[in-house]
């Protein structure tokens, strides 16, 4: 069965959604996996109301939840169930011969975060290849805006004459800058594995000439930093505000890079920690520890 069919079959057993996307190593090949590996399939569900969706889904799919997770959702207000990043993940959900992890997020929070970068946790995931199972025009517009912003930031981190692979590595690495999991629970070559394994998909997503970047047939990339900086207000709102608040000198590319890195480090570090804590509340200790051990095991792969 094709991966899309496997995912669709899983989705059809869950409560109705506004959007569904697959991502990660269980959906797209990464260099660190061989043909015998069968990584967990990662999904994101977009819904209108998070708590209402979970209440309905717990009726039809109680085994998706731990006892502590069901209690937490029933006993808490929407904001606590959302957690800091606005998304609740259910891990180690068995369906036939496949293992799933799926995050549930309100579509309004999703579209806002991708446009503003107020939160980067989900925005970073959608800068890499995703498999669309279900979507809307608005969702797709926000995904494209997020990816365009990521390309501009990656261009700023590259030299004015670079290579396509270097540019993609900078882009795919944005969501890992400052991420605490990279210290112990992720493969240190994760970005390289993503770029190598999904190079064709990434090329299709990003290798089209814009006024500020040209992709040459020999694999070189020519970047116009000044044009990006002249239109700095086109970047996500919260990043632009941060640069202004920290008196960023737009004529000094090193200063621009330093402040962008500082912004992303702050977001990624806090959001990765917050999501780990939220995962304990939703999935309980046993599932969370099991998931963490798998991540550490993957992180030890070279």
Tens of pLDDT, residue by residue over 179-205, are: 766 555 456 788 999 999 999 999 999
Give the separation between CA 196 and CA 168, rounded to whole angstroms. 10
Percent of the chain whose pLDDT exceeds 70: 88
Mean predicted lDDT score pLDDT of the chain: 91
**27: nearest Cα among 150, 136, 126:** 126
> What pLDDT was estimated at residue 77?
87
Going by pLDDT thresholds of 50, 70 and 90, the confidence category of residue 39 is confident
pLDDT of residue 71: 92
**Alpha helix ranges (H) inside 61-211:** 67-75, 78-82, 107-116, 121-125, 137-157, 164-172, 190-197, 199-206
d(CA 2, CA 24): 16
Is the pLDDT at 264 greater than 50? The verdict is yes
- Taking 50 as the threshold, does the pLDDT of residue 136 lie above it? yes
Q: How much is the average pLDDT of 168-176?
A: 97
Q: Is the pLDDT of residue 67 over 60?
A: yes
Q: Model confidence at 215, in pLDDT bands (50, 70, 90)?
A: very high
Q: What's the CA gap between 10 and 288, in Å, rounded?
A: 22
Most confident of 37-41, 84-88, 189-193, 285-289: 84-88
The token duo for 208 is: 């089209």
- Which residue did the predictor score with more confidence, 279 or 294? 279
**Inter-axis angle of helices 237-245 and 253-299, nearest 10:** 120
**pLDDT recorded at residue 40:** 93
Report CA-CA distances (Å) from 69 to 49, 113, 152, 272. 18, 25, 39, 19
pLDDT attached to residue 146: 98
Specify the pLDDT at position 302: 44
The pLDDT score that the predictor gives to residue 179 is 79
The rounded distance, in Å, linking the Cα atoms of 223 and 171 is 14
CB-neighbour burial class of residue 204 (10 A; exposed 0-12, middle 13-18, buried 19+): exposed
Only one residue has tokens 């991420």, namely 179
Which structure tokens are listed for 217?
């047939």
Q: Judge whether 106 and 86 are in contact, CB under 8 Å.
A: yes
Q: How far apart are CA 292 and CA 276, in angstroms?
A: 9
| pLDDT for res 29 | 76
- Give pLDDT tens digits for 234-262: 999 999 999 999 999 999 999 999 999 99
């Amino acid at each position: 069965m094709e991966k899309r069919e496997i995912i669709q079959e899983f989705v059809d057993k869950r409560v109705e959604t506004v959007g569904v996307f697959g991502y990660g190593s269980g959906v797209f090949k990464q260099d660190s996996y061989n043909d015998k590996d069968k990584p967990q399939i990662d999904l994101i569900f977009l819904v209108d109301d998070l708590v209402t969706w979970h209440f309905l889904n717990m009726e039809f799919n109680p085994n998706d939840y731990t006892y502590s997770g069901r209690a937490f959702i029933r006993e808490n207000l929407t904001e606590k169930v959302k957690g800091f990043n606005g998304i609740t993940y259910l891990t180690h959900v068995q369906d036939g011969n496949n293992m799933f992890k799926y995050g549930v997020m309100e579509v309004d929070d999703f579209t806002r975060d991708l446009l503003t970068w107020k939160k980067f946790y989900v925005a970073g995931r959608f800068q890499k290849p995703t498999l669309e199972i279900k979507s809307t025009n608005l969702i797709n517009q926000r995904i494209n805006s997020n990816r365009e912003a990521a390309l501009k930031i990656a261009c700023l981190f590259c030299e004015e004459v670079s290579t396509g692979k270097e540019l993609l590595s900078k882009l795919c690495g944005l969501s890992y800058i400052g991420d605490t999991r990279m210290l112990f629970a992720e493969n240190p070559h994760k970005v390289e594995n993503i770029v190598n394994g999904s190079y064709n998909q990434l090329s299709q997503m990003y290798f089209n000439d814009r006024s500020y970047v040209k992709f040459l047939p020999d694999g070189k990339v020519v970047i116009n930093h000044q044009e990006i900086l002249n239109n700095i207000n086109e970047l996500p709102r919260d990043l632009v505000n941060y640069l202004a608040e920290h008196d960023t000198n737009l004529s000094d590319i090193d200063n621009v890079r330093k402040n962008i890195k500082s912004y992303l480090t702050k977001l990624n570090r806090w959001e990765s920690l917050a999501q780990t804590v939220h995962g304990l509340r939703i999935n309980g200790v046993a599932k969370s520890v099991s998931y963490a051990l798998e991540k550490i095991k993957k992180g030890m792969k070279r």
